[in-house]
Amino acid sequence: MQLPWPGQSSLKSRLITLLLGCNTLLLLSLTLSFIYYQRPASSTVTTGSTLPHFASFQLTLALLGSVALAAFLSRRIDRIISEPIRDLSRKMEIVSRSQDYRVRVDRAGEDELAVLFACFNNMLAEISIRDERLALHSEELELEVAERTLELSEVNRQLEASLESVRDAMQSAQSANRAKSDFLAQMSHEIRTPMYGVLGMTELLLGTDLTKEQARYVDTVRRSGEALLSIINNILDFSKIEAGRMELERIPFDLHQLAADAIAVCAEDAARKGLELTLELEPGLPRMFVGDPGRLRQVVVNLLGNAVKFTLKGWVRLTLAASEPLGLVCFSVEDTGIGIAPEAQLRIFNQFTQGDESMTRKYGGTGLGLAIARQLTELMGGSLELASESGRGSRFSFTAQLEVHEEATRSERCCTALRDKRVLLATDDEETRAVIGDQLTSWGVDMECVGDAPDAFCRIVTAPFDLAVLDHRLAGTDGIELAATFRTVPAGRSVRILLLTERDEQCHSTRLAELEATTFPKRALRQDGLYRAVMAALGMDEEERRDAGCCGAPAPRQRQVLLVEDNTVNQEVGKGMLESLGCRVKVVEDGAAAVSEVQRTRYDVVFMDCQMPVMDGLEATRRIRLWEQGSGTRIPIIALTAYAMPGDRVACLEAGADDYLSKPFTCEQIAKAMERQLDGVATTMAAAHGEGEAEPAAVEPLEVISHDKMSGALEIIRTLPGNRGMEILRKVVDLYLASTPALLQTMREAESGGDAEKLKAAAHSFKSSSANLGALRLAGVCMELESLGRAGSTEGALPLLHQVEEEYRLVRDALRGGPLC
């Protein structure tokens, strides 16, 4: 807007005019005053008083005039300047209070104030225009917001609709996934059942009289079946992992056994290729763990299988070691095979991928094994790694986070058959001493170690030992010579000898037989066979092992077995296998029939299929367990299932089954499962009958050596097949007579030292050996001592100890004069 420029009658000119007027008046009055004060003094006196009066009048007039002028001026200034400014500030206040920009200030003229007012008015006009524009704009904005909101709600609606459809899609994907998993489960059942039929029947067929050619054909069928089953398993496993349905079990298992089993699976192939296949268990590695043994075994067997497959000569080694934190186990499979090129090392862990595609035809395989193995190890909280060099071999290692089964490990230690056996180890080799020492101690053996032959001989003649483990390369002599020296003295004649041999020392077999020494290769010390070798050296047959609380052999009595199975092929296979194990088998077709059959007839064990019409195995098991509550019996039930889905085992066990077998199974697996159950029953029954030991509390007076019991003890030994009975009997008696003084001494010390635990252990050992020889009276007194010790006291032990010594003298005389004559 154009502002008026101040004209002639501007504020400034008016003020100047006013000021000029004032100045003139002031000048006038000043001039008059000056004239008055400048007149001569005489004249003042001479002219009399008229002039002064006139002058002062004039002055007063001038002053009054000035005052009036000033007042006039001030009024003028007020009207010209102050009044409009006040008006302006009033209007400004109104504007600021009411925000009303339509207010205007009036001022005519062209002076500066008029210009200022005009500017002010202009500004207000501008502001109100801007306000209007703003209002307009905000209206537009509101309209736009409303429009956008509409659009947004439309988008929201569309989003919700798409979310809804995504939810629908997700639901249908989930149900499709569920259907896929169910389909897989069903497939697994459907595929495995006929495979089970094929493999089982083939196994039975192989046990019949076949011509060489037929046997070869059947063997090929078996191998192909096994290969097909392994491929099917791989595909099913892979699908299960992909569907996120792979779940691991958590059950107790024996890790050492698992490793030995895995080695056994590959042993035949390795032997065929002339490969040395070894297992190394780190000394001190716990035995019992909680985890998924099936999946663990699958990974180990896969790696071992590959190692054997891709190794043409040399060796394959499986090593197991414990690591930190507790329960973490490191597995490694090493081979001296063809190795893997660096560029293939990453690729081979992908599914359907092989190291060298050109070799596929030569070696076969699906390329799924390592992919599954890696996923499984990750599920087990570990990782799978590879170190390999082309042409020099490979090393696959993986870890698995397991849980140490403390309770089982403890009880395993307590019930080992070797507990409290006295073993003398003669070796000057540090490593041998450490390895054997660790293992024997972990089995509860009471071990002494010597570093040379003279020391060994001294120990043998001064203390009774059950077993002497002699290093064949012993400083001062060799093991065979030392064994021969042992045999020259009575104490050394009864001791069992296990010779640790080098590879080239197998040729002394005749000499070893003469000395009745058994052997064990030193290079296999870290492997799993030492326990069996020690058991064998001690002559602890299966029966004795069971007495000592360990797993036993299948019972000689014909077992009565109920097989519950609806599939006729499976019925045939199961029945055939069980009969080949010497069992009498009754087959029923469903769970309901099984329940009534169990109530009617007493069976030693029931093999129960899980999936059956009418009533499934789980329900039948539950009903049998319910019925048993009132009947006071408990039949071992072994669940059978072709469903390899997770949770099956848990479901079976929860229903009341004692064990679980996954189809297809072998005769050996059936036998082992039965062994486990029937042994368990035997142990329980024995425990219920006072540990199945001698009956010292018998009412009738007992002879020193019971001749009734002789038939169950000394007589059995004497009449052992192979005309060696007498010889063995002599050894047994020698051993008994040699070991009892030390036991007596221990009992005396325990009594005088008030050591109840020691008393219990020594009395128990004395009781068992005495009862085994039919010395039941002596065993009875020992049992009283043992009971004292078990109750944590040694009070009243002394008279019993005297009685034991008295009895022992009689027994010793009876033994010397009786069975040995």
Euclidean distance between CA atoms 503 and 514, whole angstroms: 21
Closest CA to 773 of 723, 739, 724: 739
Closest CA to 39 of 24, 50, 28: 50
Among 201, 262, 296, 370, interactor with ligand ADP by CB under 6 A: 370
Q: State how far the alpha carbon of 488 is from the alpha carbons of 414, 484, 548, 634, in Å.
A: 35, 7, 31, 54
- Is residue 375 near ligand ADP by the rule CB under 6 A? no
Closest CA to 679 of 551, 492, 523: 551
Please, which of residues 707-736 interact with ligand ADP by CB under 6 A?
Answer: none
Please, which of residues 305-324 interact with ligand ADP by CB under 6 A?
Answer: 306-307, 310
CB of residue 495 to ligand ADP, shortest distance in Å = 46
Determine the interface stretch with ligand ADP among 23-31, 117-125, 353-361, 481-489 (rule: CB under 6 A).
Answer: 353-361
CB of residue 229 to ligand ADP, shortest distance in Å = 14
- Is residue 444 near ligand ADP by the rule CB under 6 A? no
The residue among 348 and 704 lying less far from ligand ADP, judged by its C-beta, is: 348
The residue among 375 and 739 lying less far from ligand ADP, judged by its C-beta, is: 375
Closest CA to 800 of 788, 810, 812, 790: 788
Determine the interface stretch with ligand ADP among 155-163, 195-203, 360-368, 504-512 (rule: CB under 6 A).
Answer: 360-368
Determine the interface stretch with ligand ADP among 348-356, 546-554, 646-654, 787-795 (rule: CB under 6 A).
Answer: 348-356
The residue among 292 and 335 lying less far from ligand ADP, judged by its C-beta, is: 335
**Tokens 């010395």 sit at which residue?**
775
- 620, 638 contact by CB (below 8 A): no
Q: State how far the alpha carbon of 469 is from the alpha carbons of 496, 520, 531, in Å.
A: 8, 10, 12
- Is residue 348 near ligand ADP by the rule CB under 6 A? yes
Phi and psi of 122, rounded to 5°? -60, -45
CB of residue 338 to ligand ADP, shortest distance in Å = 5
CB of residue 366 to ligand ADP, shortest distance in Å = 5
3-state secondary structure 348-364: CCCCCCCCCHHHHHHHC
The residue among 340 and 537 lying less far from ligand ADP, judged by its C-beta, is: 340
CB of residue 649 to ligand ADP, shortest distance in Å = 26
- 755, 733 contact by CB (below 8 A): no
Determine the interface stretch with ligand ADP among 44-52, 366-374, 549-557, 575-583 (rule: CB under 6 A).
Answer: 366-374
Q: Using CB atoms, what's the residue nearest to ligand ADP?
A: 365
3-state secondary structure 117-170: HHHHHHHHHHHHHHHHHHHHHHHHHHHHHHHHHHHHHHHHHHHHHHHHHHHHHH
Please, which of residues 389-428 interact with ligand ADP by CB under 6 A?
Answer: 394
The residue among 289 and 310 lying less far from ligand ADP, judged by its C-beta, is: 310
Identity at 527, one-letter amino acid code: Q
What are the structure tokens assigned to 400, written together? 């698995």
The residue among 306 and 706 lying less far from ligand ADP, judged by its C-beta, is: 306
The residue among 317 and 575 lying less far from ligand ADP, judged by its C-beta, is: 317
Taking 3-state DSSP, the helix, strand and coil percentages for the chain, each rounded to the nearest 5, stand at 60, 10, 25
The residue among 196 and 396 lying less far from ligand ADP, judged by its C-beta, is: 396
- 566, 613 contact by CB (below 8 A): yes
CB of residue 305 to ligand ADP, shortest distance in Å = 8
3-state secondary structure 391-439: CCEEEEEEEEECEECHHHHHHHHHHCCCCCCEEEEECCCHHHHHHHHHH
Beta bridge partners of 519: 499
Please, which of residues 327-346 interact with ligand ADP by CB under 6 A?
Answer: 335, 337-340
CB of residue 235 to ligand ADP, shortest distance in Å = 12
DSSP per position, 18-58: HHHHHHHHHHHHHHHHHHHHHS-HHHHHHT-SHHHHHHHHH
Among 354, 494, 706, 794, interactor with ligand ADP by CB under 6 A: 354
Q: Which residues, other chains included, contact 788 with Cβ-Cβ below 8 Å and sequence gap of 6+?
A: 756, 759, 760, 763, 794, 795, 796, 797, 800
- 226, 199 contact by CB (below 8 A): yes
Cα torsion through 748, 754, 756, 757, rounded to 10:
-80
The residue among 348 and 618 lying less far from ligand ADP, judged by its C-beta, is: 348
The residue among 306 and 772 lying less far from ligand ADP, judged by its C-beta, is: 306
- Is residue 270 near ligand ADP by the rule CB under 6 A? no
CB of residue 684 to ligand ADP, shortest distance in Å = 44
Euclidean distance between CA atoms 295 and 496, whole angstroms: 41
Task: Spell out, one character per residue from 281 to 310, where the chain touches ligand ADP: x when CB under 6 A holds, - when not.
Answer: ---------------------x---xx--x
The residue among 302 and 641 lying less far from ligand ADP, judged by its C-beta, is: 302
CB of residue 236 to ligand ADP, shortest distance in Å = 15
The residue among 335 and 648 lying less far from ligand ADP, judged by its C-beta, is: 335
Q: What angle do CA 288, 291, 296 make, to 5 degrees?
A: 100
**Tokens 């058994």 sit at which residue?**
518
CB of residue 362 to ligand ADP, shortest distance in Å = 10
CB of residue 224 to ligand ADP, shortest distance in Å = 16
Among 21, 65, 283, 367, interactor with ligand ADP by CB under 6 A: 367
The residue among 113 and 370 lying less far from ligand ADP, judged by its C-beta, is: 370
Closest CA to 783 of 747, 819, 818: 747
- Is residue 355 near ligand ADP by the rule CB under 6 A? yes
Determine the interface stretch with ligand ADP among 40-48, 349-357, 438-446, 495-503 (rule: CB under 6 A).
Answer: 349-357
- 304, 262 contact by CB (below 8 A): yes
CB of residue 392 to ligand ADP, shortest distance in Å = 10
Euclidean distance between CA atoms 388 and 348, whole angstroms: 12
Q: By three-state DSSP, how is residue 275 classified?
A: coil
H or E stretch covering 586: strand 584-588
Among 356, 438, 703, 715, interactor with ligand ADP by CB under 6 A: 356
**Tokens 């008295």 sit at which residue?**
806
Q: State how far the alpha carbon of 604 is from the alpha carbons of 169, 543, 558, 598, 609, in Å.
A: 54, 19, 10, 10, 17
- Is residue 365 near ligand ADP by the rule CB under 6 A? yes
CA-based max dimension of the chain: 198
CB of residue 191 to ligand ADP, shortest distance in Å = 19
CB of residue 291 to ligand ADP, shortest distance in Å = 22
Among 366, 390, 401, 441, interactor with ligand ADP by CB under 6 A: 366
Q: What is the CA radius of gyration of the chain?
A: 55
Q: How many residues bind ligand ADP (CB under 6 A)?
A: 21
Determine the interface stretch with ligand ADP among 180-188, 274-282, 365-373, 777-785 (rule: CB under 6 A).
Answer: 365-373
Using CB under 6 A, list all residues that contact ligand ADP: 302, 306-307, 310, 335, 337-340, 348, 354-356, 365-371, 394
